[in-house]
Amino acid sequence: MQGEGIPDDVKQFIYRYISSVMQLEVLLFLLNHSSQTWSVSALVREFRVDQGWIENELEDLCTVGLLKTSMNPERTYQLMPASADQERALQGLAKAYADRRVTVTSLIYSKPVDNIRVFADAFKLRKG
């Protein structure tokens, strides 16, 4: 059975919100630093990733209600789950990833690919 030992709410969180291990790493970083706000440039330096990629991931996480954004004077992001259920599942995911990293990674990459999204993403215009 896929995801053995991972609670159902955590599996649902992965299926609903997590598209890659790198995205999960960013989300867990924000969880571990949840009292702080983070700019795109600070996260680019922290993770050494493409600015366009991190901007898209942060916006996606805002859209699903996991992050809030504000202008201070530059745009910043902070972990702020929209519901207690999201918060609990995210805490469970952090524990599961620490205890069963391979299982969590397998769950992320075994999700069905959304072919329409992949096709549409190929035509997105990126800044920079």
Establish if 29 belongs to a structural domain: yes
Mean pLDDT, to the nearest integer, of 26-30?
Answer: 97
Establish if 62 belongs to a structural domain: yes
Establish if 32 belongs to a structural domain: yes
Mean pLDDT, to the nearest integer, of 35-50?
Answer: 95
Q: 124 burial class (0-12, 13-18, 19+ CB within 10 angstroms)? A: exposed
Establish if 52 belongs to a structural domain: yes
- Domain limits at 41? 8-119
The CATH number of the domain where 107 resides is what? 1.10.10.10
Give the pLDDT confidence of 72-126 residue by residue, as tens digits. 789 999 999 999 999 999 999 999 999 999 999 999 998 776 545 555 666 666 5
Establish if 2 belongs to a structural domain: no
Domain count, the chain: 1
Establish if 1 belongs to a structural domain: no
Average pLDDT, the chain: 89
More confident site: 52 or 126: 52
25 confidence band (pLDDT: 50, 70, 90): very high
Establish if 124 belongs to a structural domain: no
How high is the pLDDT of residue 127?
56
The SS3 call for residue 36 is: coil
How high is the pLDDT of residue 107?
94
Establish if 104 belongs to a structural domain: yes
